[in-house]
Amino acid sequence: MKKILITGALGQIGSELTSYMRDIYGINNVIASGRRTPKGSKVVEDGIFELINTDDVNQIINVVKKHKVDTIIHLAAILSAVGEANPIKAWEVNVGSLLSVLEIARTYDCSVFTPSSIAVFGDYSQKFKTPQDEVQKPATMYGITKSSGELLCDYYFKRFGVDTRGIRFPGLISYETLPGGGTTDYAVHIYYEALKNKKYTSFIKEGTYMDMMYMPDALNAIVEVMETDPGKLIHRNAFNVTSMSFAPEHIAQEIKKHIPEFEITYDIDPIRQAIAESWPDFLDDTAAREEWGWNPKYDLKSMTKDMLAKLKEKIKAIN
Ligand code: SER
Mind listing the pLDDT tens digit for each residue in 205-225? 999 999 999 999 999 999 999
Work out which ligand 1 atom sits closest to the CA atom of 80. 7
> What domains sit in the chain, N to C, each tagged with a CATH number?
4-170+214-240 (3.40.50.720), 171-212+244-280+297-318 (3.90.25)
DSSP annotation of 13: T
C-alpha triplet 233, 108, 161: angle, nearest 5°: 30
**Ligand 1 atom 2: residue of nearest CA:** 182
pLDDT band of 83, cuts 50, 70, 90: very high
Three-state secondary-structure class, residue 70: coil
Ligand 1 pocket: which of 117, 210, 271 to mutate (most atoms <8 Å of CB)? 117
Ligand 1 pocket list (CB less than 6 A): 79-80, 117-119, 142, 169, 171, 182-184
**Could you report the per-residue pLDDT of 174-197, keeping only the tens digit for each?**
999 999 899 999 999 999 999 999
Return the pLDDT at 248: 98
- Classify residue 86 by its DSSP letter: S
Alpha helices in the chain (DSSP H): 14-25, 42-45, 57-67, 80-85, 87-91, 97-108, 141-160, 186-197, 215-227, 248-256, 270-278, 286-292, 300-318
User: How many Å is the maximal CA-CA distance in the chain?
Assistant: 58
Ligand 1 centroid to Cα of residue 259, in Å, is 27
Asked if the model's pLDDT at residue 58 lies above 90, the reply is: yes
User: CB-based contacts of 314: which residues, under 8 Å, 6+ apart?
Assistant: 175
Q: Which atom of ligand 1 is nearest to the CA of 171?
A: 1
Amino acid at 55: D
Predicted TM-score (pTM) of this structure:
0.97
Assess whether pLDDT exceeds 80 at residue 319.
no
Atom 3, ligand 1: which residue's CA is nearest? 182
How far is residue 221's CA from residue 150's CA, in Å, rounded to a whole number? Answer: 17
Q: How far apart are CA 32 and CA 135, in angstroms?
A: 35
Distance between CA 260 and CA 54 in Å, rounded? 45
Considering only CA atoms, which residue is closest to atom 6 of ligand 1?
Answer: 117
Mutate to test the pocket of ligand 1, among 78, 79, 174, 204 (most ligand atoms within 8 A of CB): 79
For residue 37, report the distance from its CA to the centre of ligand 1, in Å: 25
Classify 284 as helix, strand or coil.
coil
**181 CA distance to ligand 1 centroid (A)?**
8
Which helix (H) or strand (E) segment is 4 a member of?
A: strand 4-7
The CA distance from 21 to 86, in Å, is 32
Where are the strands (E) in 52-174, listed by range? Answer: 71-74, 111-117, 128-130, 164-169, 171-173
